Amino acid sequence: MKKFFFQKILQKEGWLFNTKISIDKEGKIKEIQKNYQGADYEQLIPIAIPGIPNAHSHAFQYAMAGMTENHPYNSQSDFWSWRKNMYDFALNIDPDDFQNIATMLYSEMLSNGYTHVAEFHYLHHDKNGQSYSSLSEMGERILIAGKNAGIDVTLVPVFYNQGNFNTAFHKKQRRFINKNSDDYFKLIECSRSKCKLYNSNLGVGIHSIRAVKDFMITELIDFNQNKYPFHLHISEQLKEVEDCLNNYSLRPVEWLYSNFEVGENHHLVHATHLNKKEIKLITQNKSNVILCPTTEGNLADGFFKLKEFQENKGNWCLGSDSHIGLSPLEEIRLLDYGLRLQTNSRKTFYNNETANASHLVMNKIFFNGMKAMGIERKNYFEKECSLNFIEIDEKRPLIKSSENEDLLNTIFYTGDIRNIKSTYVKGLNRTEINKNIDLSKNYYQTIRKIKEKM
């Protein structure tokens, strides 16, 4: 049993002072003692906040971040042109590459304070579109990468069946495709046993309502019975809304809630383009929206209707999606300042329980984020849960001078990665451990090899 002493640690109810937390060999919390006066502990941590869940990731896209920012004078540059580059990239990644990229990415996520990631995974097949001898070969590489980097993973193998509404898939999408529901269920079964092997969680989902035939979505919802968290992209781009109206005579979110029982277990990624009725459908059914502000900005998706969504008490959390940005602080501030710039009001995050913006944000991104991982939590630090936290550098000038009531706001609004001393998962300092394992060599070789092929 290892014992930590926290001078300040953030719980749902606010800062706790002088708290001793004991963990077992697996890093699970066995005891939390508030106002501890003794000296029986091995490690002192001045300031800690909970590790942040990253509820939406496509690991392979990390390797192309920064590679799509040349915009020739006479050509179009939008989500759809970016997607063409992404498909070419995806076709050139073998399982070893995939694992190397994900390992590097997850290590970087940890440095930025993420301690759990939901990998929205659709690179299922080989370059010819054929199954690997193990159906979840690529999913297992994600789990290995998570284990090696030391981040908790929820693997979400998603169903991808067609190119667009009532449209066959493009040959460049061949690695993503499951022919029918049975095919996908076999993948889920195989992924489930791999997740068990690596002590990871499983999710299910569809890439989007445009990528899976309607009757197959019904088959999947019946199969899942709300057992695993259900993830899907929805209403990211205006063209997607128009295509849905042309094919189903309803907007995507309207169509989804009209045809299926969608509730708390459903995690809608982006949901950028919503009308008032759709906001009500999501919030009244207590579904969760996973916002990915840096990716949504980078891909010119649009700005989420945060003001109306909050007024309806909507649930939301964060994902880094394409990984153009890897800091949860950057995601939060982009979301906040985007709205401030639109409304000329500084009051973005608020409710009738707290006036403190960061305490509200932490509550949303932690509890809804963990739910997206398939984990129900009542507090940031609880008995029988892993001790995952971010150690804040108490010596940084603004942190050192901050009063307790402003401390989390100072961390969220004024800081960057330099404020993070270390990130711990299961009581282990992953920042220190990952410094000593050379993840970069394999990663650089992989990137060079992919670039040569393209």
Binding site for Zn ion (CB under 5 A): 321
Active site residue 183: no
Annotated catalytic residue, options 121, 207, 270, 359: 270
Q: Which is nearer to Zn ion, 152 or 321 (CB)?
A: 321
Q: Which is nearer to Zn ion, 321 or 336 (CB)?
A: 321
For the bound state, the minimum distance from the C-beta of residue 295 to Zn ion, rounded and expressed in Å, comes to 7
Hey, is 257 helix, strand or coil? helix
Annotated catalytic residue, options 97, 152, 243, 321: 321
CA nearest to 21, candidates 426, 372, 398, 442: 426
Residues 165 and 210: beta-carbon distance below 8 Å: yes
Q: What single string gives the DSSP state of each residue in 135-186?
A: TTHHHHHHHHHHHHHT-EEEEEE-B---SBTTBPPPGGGGGG--SSHHHHHH
Gap between the Cα atoms of 376 and 166, Å rounded: 37
For the bound state, the minimum distance from the C-beta of residue 293 to Zn ion, rounded and expressed in Å, comes to 13
Q: Which is nearer to Zn ion, 211 or 362 (CB)?
A: 211
Pairing of strands 389-392, 43-50: antiparallel
Q: Which is nearer to Zn ion, 267 or 359 (CB)?
A: 267
Q: Which residue is nearest to Zn ion (CB)?
A: 321
Distance, C-alpha 231 to centroid of its chain? 11
Gap between the Cα atoms of 59 and 109, Å rounded: 11
Q: Which is nearer to Zn ion, 140 or 321 (CB)?
A: 321
Gap between the Cα atoms of 183 and 208, Å rounded: 17
Question: How is residue 386 annotated by DSSP?
Answer: B
Active site residue 270: yes
For the bound state, the minimum distance from the C-beta of residue 387 to Zn ion, rounded and expressed in Å, comes to 30
* Residues assigned a catalytic role: 270, 321
